[in-house]
Structure 1
Amino acid sequence: MTSTDHESWATQTFGLRVRHRSGTPLLTELVAPGLRRNPRRAHLLVSSVLGKHIAADPRDVIAGGHQLGRAVASLGLGDVDVLGMAETATSLGHCVADNLDAAMYLHTTRRHAPPNMIYAEFQEGHSHATDHTLQPSSADLFAQPRPIVLVDDEISTGNTAFATVAALQQLQHRAHYVVASLVDVRNDTHRHDAAAVSNKLRTSVHFVSLAQGDVDQPAGLIDAVCALNPPVLNTPSDRPPSTPSRLTLPWPAHVPEGGRHGFLRQDRPEFDEAVLWASEHLHSYLDPSRPVLLVGHEELMYLPLRLADQLARHGFNTRFQSTTRSPAYVHNHPEYPLGTGWTFPASEPGETSARFLYNGWQAPTHVRVQLVLLVDRIAASGDLTVGEVLAAAGYDVIIAEVDGPDATTLAEIRGRQQ
């Protein structure tokens, strides 16, 4: 096993180290060691190709998802369903589903719903927000026992993946599951135990990743990180703040804007057409001579990714990322991947915990970046202080709303289509 770590600040200060094991590209080309003040787990692998904590070229994000899809396809499982893990892998999972031409794509969600709308639920023990639910428009989406591909950005122990498999097996037995991730940093014990857990669940679970490695966590890391002073967030820009503007993007009432309630193979052609329609509308509000940062709202990542890609095809200098529930540790150091951060209230009505955006993307001092924050109808109806916070950070902010069908409407539409 060869280390390719370049002595990041987290390594120099705390001894947290990422080591490459196997795969192409190298692990440390995909992730860098970050920190979070979390009593469950203090380290955070910050991806350069996910578009969550680091603004990324949308073409690179899509390419990474398609590469992971090809790795899954090499297993020869045939027709599959794909399940993406919220919130970091919702767009990654959708890209994998696209590449596989999956029959159905669904991502887990942390958004609250009535009990009768929840198909399954489970927990992610190390996460800041642990509860996951599945909220398909109908249980019929899971009626066929096709292999399921579980997609996450990182597999650290495999526990969350197996918790998901266990919940799904209770509802519909399947013979095959694939756990697909950008990076797999399970240790030898986790890998050895996977076969026993698969046998207990009476199924086959295969792990696929673009790169594999190990995370060296020194003793006392959690205590040391939690003892740090709170990070400095919401540092104001020296540029005068602008006033955020709002617009509604055109979107067909019968086409899902993402995978929260299920996205079927037959949805793809109309979704692709809707992306073109919405991007043309957004294009008219933007200055093509200035950079654009397209920011998704938490789990709503795939549509803004596709819009960012479409803008790039029109010649815009574009980056993509999204807001998050996760409180990472910000420290301004050239060898640390989380240099700046902003916090703001949750947008969804009834939610109380803070939300965050990290790093962002700043152009040279004489150019103001156009930041487009894409929100769905529920988020648009709540607290949008995020727009003011990001405007104070020096961005020209446009809050763009897209109104796709909810689970009940999708169920009715699909019922009529049968």
Structure 2
Amino acid sequence: MLHHHDSPAGYRVPELVHPGLRRNPRRAHLLVSTVLGKHVPTDPAVVLAAGDRLGDLVAALLGEDASTAVVLGFAETATGLGHCVAARIGAACYLHSTRRDVPGADTFAGFEEGHSHATFHLLQPTSPDLFANSAPLVLVDDEISTGTTALDAIRALHRHHPRTRYVIASLVDMRAEEHRRGVSEAAADLGVRIEHVSLAAGRAVIPEGTTERVTALPDPALNPQAPHRGTAAFVDLPWPATVPDGGRHGFLSADTAAFDTAIATAADALAAALEPGRPAMVIGHEELMYLPLRLADALATRGTVTRFQTTTRSPGYVLDVPGYPLRRGFTFLAPEHVPETHETEVPRYLYNAQWPDAERRPALVLVVDSPADTDRLRATGGLVDVLTEAGEDVVVAVIPATDPVALRISREAL
């Protein structure tokens, strides 16, 4: 049960999140955001508006220091949200944590997330110098349940480069009083200031025994099949090698104009590959959220009725009943090849990917970067296969991934 406490932004907790389930012994409930564009197809304008409003709260808190701030978004769910906040406040630098260990990238720091299905977070900026300042650090997550992940990140980063002020920003803040005291104690221990902003604050009351009951549920029905297979098409989208595709290796305020121009060019190419007049559901790939979100918004401004969401590693429980947020689900092979690790074999998921009130069945536009454009993406059991088997028409749009070495060299040349 969700309880609303307060909001400085005119939102209510039950409007921002809907309760779902996941078969995770660490945490059986899943708060499904209505404004994030992760599990539920969402109007891209709604996603951007929520990120902008959260950014406004951060800017009001930081005042004239907002433009000097470093913003950190948490993988995988808040990579796009963090970028929205950073863009809104004009932050000097945006970085998101990653679970993809990119060849050629140096790991600046890492931390663990205790309740998650995938616990490790890596920070891989092109240079540690992106953090070598005394500006406030803004940590962005979609939901703060205990604050542990944010505190672990603060401790890890504080060891590398101490600063005096940290801000934790989230769509919803669901911490209990003991968690809030823990933040105060951590701030006192580190000798720093830790502040919070959120669109709304409340509590999720989980009935006793929920974890055991969810674990005992039968396997959910995934990967539906249609009488006729849908179609699949592929398009390569242009993207400049010196423009970061997101915040995995650091995104500077100086990158904004070139990024906006690249989005417009890529959106033109994508629009030309789509059937005129047909709705589009743009689906990002895990941490690749902000770029697909901006593409979805650009399609909408060009007249295409559009919704946005992404794939995920989160094993939510699918149940096709009215009012439940995860009505349809797909599981598929991880498209990336990750040698000498188990990551390649960890299943990936996509939820809903349907638009019941659309006038026409939408095309599903999968936006992936080049490391995910593999034979596994197209193989039996891959994402293209399971979606077309469900009768969906799929367009795969491939963006060249940022090469951290090339990006570092281009920045050093400036």
- State the TM-score bracket (shorter-chain normalisation): over 0.9
Aligned equivalent of 1:9: none
Cα RMSD (Å): 1.4
Name which of structure 1's ranges 383-392 and 365-374 shifts more when overlaid on structure 2: 365-374
How far did 1:403 drift?
Answer: 0.6
Q: Distance in 1 between matches of 2:188 and 2:373?
A: 45
Q: Distance in 2 between matches of 1:60 and 1:45?
A: 18
Q: Distance in 2 between matches of 1:259 and 1:393?
A: 33
CA contact 1:147–1:177 (8 Å) conserved in 2: yes
How far did 1:366 drift?
Answer: 8.0
- Consecutive unaligned residues of structure 2, counting only runs of 5 or more, are 339-343
Aligned equivalent of 1:7: none
Report SS of the residue matched to 2:155.
Answer: helix
Report SS of the residue matched to 2:248.
Answer: coil
- What amino acid does structure 1 have at the position aligned with 2:264? L
Deviations 1:202-235 (A, max 9, x none): 2111010000000111111111110100110001
CA contact 2:105–2:126 (8 Å) conserved in 1: no
CA contact 1:107–1:262 (8 Å) conserved in 2: yes
Q: Distance in 2 between matches of 1:336 and 1:82?
A: 33
Q: Distance in 2 between matches of 1:366 and 1:310?
A: 20
Identity fraction in percent: 50
- Quick check: 1:37 aligned with 2:23? yes
CA contact 1:363–1:369 (8 Å) conserved in 2: no
- What amino acid does structure 2 have at the position aligned with 1:82? V
Report SS of the residue matched to 1:236.
Answer: coil
How far did 1:290 drift?
Answer: 1.1
Aligned equivalent of 1:119: 108
Listed as ranges, the matches of 1:191-270 within 5 Å are 191-238=180-227, 240-270=228-258
Which residue of the other structure, out of 337, 354, 357, is the alignment partner of 2:325? 337
- What amino acid does structure 1 have at the position aligned with 2:149? T
Aligned equivalent of 1:182: 171
CA contact 1:349–1:382 (8 Å) conserved in 2: no
Q: Distance in 1 between matches of 2:358 and 2:260?
A: 36
Q: Distance in 2 between matches of 1:124 and 1:225?
A: 21
- Quick check: 1:410 aligned with 2:407? yes
How far did 1:169 drift?
Answer: 0.2
Cα distance change on mapping 1:341 and 1:21 into 2, 3 Å: same
TM-score relative to the length of structure 1 = 0.93
CA contact 1:348–1:382 (8 Å) conserved in 2: no
- Quick check: 1:297 aligned with 2:285? yes
Report SS of the residue matched to 1:94.
Answer: helix
Deviations 1:181-222 (A, max 9, x none): 000000011112211111112211101000000011111111
Cα distance change on mapping 1:365 and 1:19 into 2, 3 Å: closer
How far did 1:115 drift?
Answer: 9.4
How far did 1:242 drift?
Answer: 2.4
Aligned equivalent of 1:278: 266
How far did 1:362 drift?
Answer: 3.1
Deviations 1:361-395 (A, max 9, x none): 23569833111101111111351020111112222
CA contact 2:105–2:404 (8 Å) conserved in 1: no
Q: Distance in 2 between matches of 1:114 and 1:89?
A: 23
How far did 1:414 drift?
Answer: 0.5
Report SS of the residue matched to 1:75.
Answer: helix
- Consecutive unaligned residues of structure 1, counting only runs of 5 or more, are 1-16
- What amino acid does structure 1 have at the position aligned with 2:167? V
Deviations 1:22-81 (A, max 9, x none): 112100000011100000000100000000000000000000000000001111351211
- What amino acid does structure 2 have at the position aligned with 1:369? P
Report SS of the residue matched to 2:116.
Answer: coil
Aligned equivalent of 1:172: 161
Aligned equivalent of 1:13: none
Q: Distance in 2 between matches of 1:134 and 1:247?
A: 30
Q: Distance in 2 between matches of 1:34 and 1:392?
A: 26
Report SS of the residue matched to 2:99.
Answer: coil
Report SS of the residue matched to 2:360.
Answer: coil
Which residue of the other structure, out of 52, 57, 66, is the alignment partner of 2:38? 52
Report SS of the residue matched to 1:241.
Answer: coil
Q: Distance in 2 between matches of 1:362 and 1:393?
A: 14
- What amino acid does structure 2 have at the position aligned with 1:27? V
Aligned equivalent of 1:367: 360
How far did 1:287 drift?
Answer: 1.7
Aligned equivalent of 2:301: 313
Q: Distance in 2 between matches of 1:365 and 1:196?
A: 50
How far did 1:114 drift?
Answer: 5.9
- What amino acid does structure 1 have at the position aligned with 2:260? D
CA contact 1:245–1:397 (8 Å) conserved in 2: yes
Report SS of the residue matched to 2:316.
Answer: coil
- What amino acid does structure 1 have at the position aligned with 2:325? P
Q: Distance in 2 between matches of 1:374 and 1:28?
A: 30
- What amino acid does structure 1 have at the position aligned with 2:396? I
Q: Distance in 2 between matches of 1:412 and 1:115?
A: 12
How far did 1:145 drift?
Answer: 2.0
CA contact 1:255–1:404 (8 Å) conserved in 2: no
Cα distance change on mapping 1:144 and 1:286 into 2, 3 Å: same
Aligned equivalent of 2:60: 74
Q: Distance in 1 between matches of 2:81 and 2:91?
A: 14
Q: Distance in 2 between matches of 1:318 and 1:309?
A: 8
How far did 1:241 drift?
Answer: 1.4
CA contact 1:154–1:185 (8 Å) conserved in 2: yes
Aligned equivalent of 1:98: 87
Report SS of the residue matched to 2:273.
Answer: coil
Deviations 1:127-158 (A, max 9, x none): 00000010111111111121010000000000
Aligned equivalent of 2:341: none
- What amino acid does structure 2 have at the position aligned with 1:132? H
